[in-house]
Structures are given as structure tokens and as C-alpha cells.
Chains A and B, each alone.
Chain A
């Protein structure tokens, strides 16, 4: 398959090709979907440690004495809970309570924040904040200057020789001679970190991480890992037309402050959502896929095979009465009715 010439490359593109990765277009980037295979890579992250090149993600810097004011009015979570060195999951919302993007906000210093946004939303999130800039706040897209490696798995931190640290904290350090910001965040449900470095250091950092026995993993495993732990994917499970309460992300919305769409979210919370994003496991042999209808008016938004459960799993919106754990769902799998059961999130949880 020929790739359009306009796809962007991360600083690690040549490394991926050398390693024999299967490259695919994703959100305007040519990215590795797998190296050895989705399932072995998935298992490596659950059992040991894997590394993902996520340099396609966007890094927006917001600075100035009124940076907090700008962000507190645009983001759903309570930014005031962050001290410098701490991070939180939060949502950029629109006036309808919809989700422009979901992201991690890092408080770098008293008046300085870093937002790590989805690759597909980098331009829209930047434009959204830039339009809302107020005197004393400055929004800058620093994405092209940085590379981001997610090192995930129960042995990730140990393999990198890093001290243990609380989730959603970060620190600057040197890893095998490369200056990195080590963020205790991730998208796999495992312990681990995300390493932010300058683009020109990306290859050295990647090589150092692999040298420490971490398995290179592609976007295929990233998707099955996040789905097993029910982390939503923007563009699939959440988006500008879905609200946080229905998506089960009310915990990331501080409704006692004013931000865009908060009135809508307060109303939905008070009245109860008409539909909810649920997780389900297939009872019949079948693999659910996004867009498949769920009997009763629902729809699958994410679906795949769970390497840990060995069965089809997914998430989707269903009318609220069908959202209770244990409810049987019938999914239309290309014309064949297949049974699934609603389960509590996350679908997969590490034993012990």
C-alpha cells in the first residue's frame, strides 16, 4: 500500500523501519502498528515492559500570570488541585458539554502548564485555546520540539532504573545521558511512565530504553491495552458530540467551577444521562467493532479481541436502563446477533 507523501514522521521513524515494524497512517502520521505482533507486544506490557513511540501526540505550553485563569475556564478538572510537579487527566469541553479533546495537564511551575493532547486534535486544541487567550496568558505549540516515549508495564520503572514515584507526578532527570521529563502517566493500565525529551535526543533515548530490555510496541497493542482497562479513545468513545457524564468521565469534571459547557454537564448529571458508555465482554464467539449496532438503540464505539481474556471485548453507548453490570446485550455482528454482557470497568484488572 503506497503511503501519501504528506504523512509526518516522528524522529524515530527510521528506527521503526529498521526494526521491521509494519507502518500505517494514523492521524496524519506514519506510525508503527506492530513489530513482532499485537498479541506478543500486548503480553509484554502486561508481564514486563514495552515502549511506544507516541511522539505524534501534541505538546501545548500555556504560560503567564493568567495561564491558570485561561485553563480553569477551558478544562473540566480542577487545575487548582495541582502543585508544580503534579499532573491530572482533564477534558477540553465545548459549550454543549462535548469533548474537544481529552488530555493530561502538567503543572510545570507556578504559572506554567504543559498539555499533552491527542495527535488528531493537536491543531484543534491549539486553535481552541489560542482563540481564548487572555492578556497574561500565552499558548504555544511545542510539539515539533519534543519526542514522547511511553514505557509501560510492571517492570518498566525498574528496567529504566528509576525510583518509584506516585502516579500523576513528574520530575526532570537524566536517563543514560539524555535529559528527560519522566511523567508517571500512561494509557495501558500498567505501572510505568512517559518520557518527554527533545526531538534531537529521541533516537538516543529510544536506543537506551531498548538496551534495557524493553520491548518495542506499536499502536495495535496500545489500542488493545487501553481498551482492556476502559480508557476512552477520543474520536471513538468520546468526542465533540458526547458529554463527559454519559461517558463515565464525571470524575474528571469539577462541576463547582465555571468552565465551558458546565451548565449542560450539571443538568445531565442532575437528570441522569439518557445513555451511558458501558464496557462489555462477548459471551458468544465474535469480535465487536466500532459502529456495530447494539439491540435497543445502542452502538459499539470500541471493540477488539482481548489478549488477556481471550474473547471479544468492547465499549459502547446504550440506553441508561441497559447500562447496569450484568445486563445482556445483543450486538449485530455483520448481520449475526451475538450475545455480550455489560461488565464493571475496567474489563481487565491485574490480579492482586
Chain B
């Protein structure tokens, strides 16, 4: 069974249902429980290349379920330093553990100031309720 809906307090959220966990000069990116649930079981992750640049608000890759394709929107800008191979090999990891083993990429943050414009967990929950 899929885990229960949750939005951890230590993450920053983008309104396109992506999250970022800032860890010093780096950040880990992923999609939220809401996004994973809406898509259904993921069957494909099209990652960016390590060394490429992602830009806040723009697509950096795709995830797909049986029925749908979804762009991954970068919550922060930066350079890709790692792709989660576990999700490439077993995309359903995102449905099982969206904020842990189901992370997607790690970036070196390009614009540290950007994080301030992201939503905190309470604001993101409010956004979901208003939709």
C-alpha cells in the first residue's frame, strides 16, 4: 500500500508539486506525495545529465505513470551533481517513499537566495486545499 499523505516540515515546496531539501551548498529535489498520488505508480524517470544546469521554474526531466507524463519543475536553479539511480531502475520508489529513497536529483545550488521564495509545508498544504 502507498504511504499516507505527508508534507515534511524540513522541506521547501514549489507550487508545481516539487520539493527541495537544502543541505548546505547542495539541494536534493523530488516530487511531493500529492504529485506521486495523482500520477499513480511511476514506471519511468527521464533524468537530466549530471553536469547539466537546471533553472528554477523550468523542466529538468520527466516522470511517467502508465497513463500520464509529467514534467519535473525545478524548485531551485543549479548544476546537477547526482541522479538517483535507484529511481531510474525502480521508479515506483517515488510512490513508496517520495521524500526519502524516492529523491530524484542532487544539485549544487546556483542562486542561494531562491530558496526564500519557495513555500513552507504549511503554505503548500494551504495551496493544495485551495485547489
Contact = CB atoms under 8 A, between A and B. Distances in A.
Interface of A: 33-34, 37-39, 220, 224, 285-287, 289, 304-305, 307, 312, 334, 336
B44 A37 contact: no
A312 B43 CA distance: 9
Given A34-B40, A37-B41, A305-B44, A289 B69 contact: yes
A220 B44 contact: no
> Looking at chain B's contact residues, is the secondary structure mostly helix, strand, loop, or mixed?
strand
Secondary structure dominating the interface of A: mixed
Contacts of A304: 66-67
A37 B64 contact: no
B67 A287 contact: no
Contacts of A39: 41, 43, 66
Contacts of B65: 38
Contacts of B44: 285-287, 305, 312
Given A38-B41, A39-B43, A39-B66, 9 more contacts: A33-B67, A38-B67, A220-B66, A285-B44, A285-B46, A287-B43, A287-B64, A304-B67, A307-B66
A331 to B, nearest CB: 14
Interface residue tally on B, bucketed by range: 10 to 19
A305 B43 contact: yes
20 contacts: A34-B40, A37-B40, A38-B41, A38-B66, A38-B67, A39-B43, A39-B66, A220-B40, A224-B66, A285-B88, A286-B44, A287-B43, A287-B44, A287-B69, A289-B69, A304-B66, A304-B67, A305-B43, A307-B66, A334-B69
Contacts of B64: 287, 305
A304 B65 CA distance: 9
A38 B92 CA distance: 13
A305 B33 CA distance: 22
A224 B41 CA distance: 14
Contacts of A224: 66
Contacts of B67: 33, 38, 220, 304
A224 B62 CA distance: 21
A59 B64 CA distance: 36
| Of B43, B46, B69, most A-chain CB atoms within 10 Å | B43
A34 B44 CA distance: 19
Contacts of B40: 34, 37-38, 220
Interface in B40-79: 40-41, 43-44, 46, 62, 64-67, 69
Contacts of B62: 334
Most A C-beta atoms less than 10 A away, residue of B62, B65, B67, B69: B67
A307 B46 CA distance: 18
A336 B88 CA distance: 17
A34 B62 CA distance: 22
A289 B62 CA distance: 14
A336 B66 CA distance: 19
A304 B44 CA distance: 11
A51 B39 CA distance: 23
B20 to A, nearest CB: 25
Nearest to B38: A22
Nearest to B42: A305
Contacts of A336: 46
Contacts of A289: 69
Which 7 A-B pairs have CB atoms at the shortest separation, nearest pair first? A305-B43, A38-B66, A305-B66, A39-B41, A287-B64, A287-B44, A37-B41
For B62, B65, B69, which residue has the most chain A Cβ atoms within 10 angstroms? B65
A37 B1 CA distance: 10
Interface in B80-108: 88
A228 B40 CA distance: 20
Interface string B14-45: 00000000000000000000000000110110
Contacts of B46: 285-286, 336
A220 B69 CA distance: 14
A143 B41 CA distance: 34
A219 to B, nearest CB: 9
A289 B66 CA distance: 10
